Amino acid sequence: MHFTLQKRNKTWMPATNLSIVGLVVYILACPASSMDVLVHNQINVLNGTMVRIQCIFTSCYKMDVNKFAMNWTYQENTNETEEMFMTYKKGMMPLRTDRFSDRVQFVGNLEKNDLSITLSDVQLSDEGVYNCYVRNPPDRIQGHGIINMFVVTECKGRGKGREQ
């Protein structure tokens, strides 16, 4: 009887080990803070041109358009209050602001996790901090990308203004 019991324990042991290994792989593959937001930290833009401001996120979870949320905000500098100019919650909603009027457009592709925008006719007053916020439940944390945009009046070096 002792032999049978010992054999039975050995049979259960690999199944238990496999379950533990599977759980560890799942946790490592998709941790609680699995959201990453990819942006250019700094962009230089020639005054009067159009710029594409990229914001791409990665997540272990497929996007559900009914739960997904995104906001774009602007700050003159990091100490100033943020001004929201675009949001997505069950649909894209550009918010008309005095600062940007109708110069901002969403040009991303939600199916590819691309939340990029364009800003046309860039002005010196557009210089500042642009924030891209992303929430993709069941991710537990909100993703945040910070872009510092500098507006220049002339190009240094070869070619035209650098657009990102």
Task: Kindly state the average pLDDT of the residues 35-41.
Answer: 96
CB-CB contact of 132 with 117 (8 Å): no
Please tell me the predicted confidence (pLDDT) of residue 28: 46
Beta strand ranges found along the chain (DSSP E): 36-38, 42-46, 51-53, 56-58, 69-75, 83-89, 92-94, 104-106, 117-119, 128-135, 143-152
CB-CB contact of 49 with 122 (8 Å): yes
Please tell me the predicted confidence (pLDDT) of residue 78: 86
Please tell me the predicted confidence (pLDDT) of residue 34: 72
Please tell me the predicted confidence (pLDDT) of residue 91: 87
Decide which of 119 and 9 is more confident: 119
Residues in the chain: 164
Task: Kindly state the average pLDDT of the residues 80-92.
Answer: 93
22 has pLDDT over 90:
no
